[in-house]
Amino acid sequence: MDEILTLSLTELTEQLRERKVSPVELMGSVLDRIDETNGDLNAFVAMRERDALLADARRCEERIQRGEARPLEGIPLGVKDLEHAEGLPNTEGSLIYKDRISDHDDVHVARLKAAGAIVIGKTNAPEFGHTAVTKNLVYGVTRSPWNLERTPGGSSGGSAAAMAACVCPLVTASDGGGSIRIPASFTGTFGLKPSYGRVPRGPIEHWDYDDTSCYGPLTKTVEDAALYLDQVAGPSPYDPNTLPAPGFSYLDALGESLPSGLRIGFSPDLGYAVVQGDVAAAVEKAVGVFDKLGHRVSPLPGGPPWMGRDWGLLGAFELAARIHEYLPDRESEMGRAFIAGIKTGWSMTPERWRIIGDQRVELNRWCAEAFEHFDLLVTPTVPYDPPPAKGPVPDETEGRPQPMAGVASFTIPFNLSWHPAATLRVGRSELGLPIGMQIVGPRHREELVLQAALAFQRERPWHPDWPTRWSD
């Protein structure tokens, strides 16, 4: 493997600007790495032609030589298969869309391209992003480079595997209940779910009532995530829910010191999560870094209502409405677990909708009170080790039953509440697999979350420790 692929995104962009690495050299290395690894990982599931990619890289090299380099000039980009990239398949992991080719870019993909990134192909995702294990009937199973028998998580599993294995320096990801943070935790990468609306979605193809899903960065380092946000954040006429432009650079904000004496609330379980012993111990030890840095870590009392079952019901209801025209005639083309999950959405009633709404009000109230007393919240990211590559997720941990959607015990609440939340690597489990810690910030304060994550990264760096030689 070419050593340039172990560099972070920010390191690579600097190397490219200074002409120490050429875009053509980088592109060739990425394509060779995909050829080398994809038989094991199945991270990339559709690719543009090599000659076209090298031609794009040569054009980027010419811009650099003219002194016209954009922020991501010549950076290869993998796009999650739940998102549109013009000219590439957009199957959403489902056989019913196996022949669909995108005729446009999603807004954030277009913005990354405008910043100089070169779309190279699509990364794998579970059917309609429905599970925390990345497999589907179109492209098969994606595996973790830390252990090929384990999943990299979902739904951004292909992107996470590609990032952790140093296959591609920039990937897209999305998170409706943990789909950035869970695979980031399972692969030891850095993942940020921004505040709802920070990164525009769309163009909208079908109106839905999903207000939990966000696009966000999945990267090697905190700085890389800030660079990504700088290119994509800001309003779009295609998404009525996007926030105003932040008015500053996230990367520049990382040059500022983390405010002193932060009040940090720590919860090992949010009052309901069933957490693996070595995961709990690693996160509890890691949060002590903030004490060492002069901040005040205190127990976070109680917890929000656990809405895993109802979050799943909402998602199933929305998705059932979206694909109802294919049911039941094409059920045989969909995964059995997926169909079973979707059919739970048919049980939605006005009464249940009201109950879920009341629970969400309670969740919001709990978050509001928590942020009255704390500047940041810290929890584990995922309660346990990555499950087998083909699933299923476990229904118990160390003899204790897991709640429904237990894999997302710590992530779902902050999708429902719209708070920014990041995960970063804090160690490895007894099986040698990455463990993640989640940092949650006030709404619209991504820069504070990033600053806290960077402070931790400087004390406990994980980059460049990546699983690049699993197949030796």
CA distance 472 to 130: 33
Cβ-based neighbours of 423, under 8 Å, separated by 6 or more: 180, 181, 184, 185, 190, 191, 381, 436, 437, 438, 439
122 catalytic? Reply is: no
Name the region of 134 (left: φ>0; alpha: ψ -120 to 50; beta: rest).
beta
CA distance 219 to 226: 10
Tell me which of 179, 213, 267, 417 is the catalytic residue.
Answer: 179
**Tokens 């480079």, located at residue:** 145
Which H or E run includes 183? Answer: helix 181-187
Query: Identity (one letter) of the amino acid at 321?
Result: A
Cβ atoms of residues 335 and 137 within 8 Å: yes
What is the three-class DSSP state of 141?
Answer: strand
Alpha-carbon distances of 110 from 27, 84, 118, 172, 230, rounded to whole Å: 19, 10, 10, 12, 14
Closest among 272, 251, 314, 225 to 403, alpha carbons compared: 272
Token pair in block for residue 81: 């298969």
Regarding beta strands 135-136 and 140-141, do their DSSP bridges make them parallel or antiparallel, or are they unpaired? antiparallel
Token pair in block for residue 321: 């409405």
94 catalytic? Reply is: no
Tell me which of 22, 80, 94, 213 is the catalytic residue.
Answer: 80
DSSP string, 278-320: HHHHHHHHHHHHHHHTT-EEEE--S-PPP-HHHHHHHHHHHHH
Token pair in block for residue 357: 């709404």
Tell me which of 22, 29, 155, 185 is the catalytic residue.
Answer: 155
Cβ atoms of residues 408 and 309 within 8 Å: no
Closest among 442, 387, 425, 132 to 283, alpha carbons compared: 425
* Burial of 328 per CB tally in 10 Å (0-12, 13-18, 19+): exposed
409 catalytic? Reply is: no
List active site positions. 80, 155, 179
